[in-house]
Amino acid sequence: MKRPTAAAAGTATLLLAAVLTGCSDSTTAEGHGPTASGASPSAPATVDTKSEGKLGSILVDDKGNTLYLFLADKKNKSNCTDACAKAWPPLLTKGAAKVGDGVNKKLLDITKRSNGDEQVTYNGHPLYYYAADTKPGQTNGQGLNQFGAEWYVLDAKGNKVES
């Protein structure tokens, strides 16, 4: 059996570090998308809609990143913290979230997380990204059962979308 070279081992270490740091419970400095920085957002988040094939028109952020609901959450209360929030980073905002195309302003709100961060909600559902969605438009988290309940994308009415 061949032993890995130092270069191969170094590459594997860098890839592992990239994967581990790519999962976070925060958003970028602009307030959008998962990041490893741990910084709180400095601007309001925007919720938009986008057509995603068989799922139809679903909620996304202003960059087209898919947003999800967690069935274990209560109305306007997140039950996703720690390891859950690393795999499913919450959509955080600074102040009231902005309404994008196809979004009902009456359904858009914010809630306080246990650490004091403001998380965007839609129709009472706290909103999350999925860390394995690495590009806009991906829906790899759709229908997954993780951390005690299922995860779904939402339609513009704020309801879960089942594929």
**pLDDT value of residue 33:** 52
**pLDDT value of residue 57:** 96
**pLDDT value of residue 116:** 94
**pLDDT value of residue 42:** 85
**pLDDT value of residue 53:** 87
- The DSSP 8-state label assigned to residue 33 in this structure reads S
What's the pLDDT tens digit per position in 77-104? 999 999 999 999 999 999 999 999 999 9
**pLDDT value of residue 78:** 97
Secondary structure in 3-state letters for 92-159: EECCCCEECCCCCHHHEEEEECCCCCEEEEECCEECECCCCCCCCCCCCCCCCEECCEEEEEECCCCC
Q: Where are the domains of the chain?
A: 6-161
70 strand-pairing partners: 151
* Distant-in-sequence, close-in-space partners of 87: CB < 8 Å, separation ≥ 6: 23, 130, 131, 132, 146, 147
Q: What are the 10-residue block averages of pLDDT along the chain, 163 residues in total?
A: 42 34 37 48 94 94 97 97 97 96 96 95 98 96 98 97 88
**pLDDT value of residue 39:** 56
Helix (H, G, I), strand (E, B) or coil at 85: helix
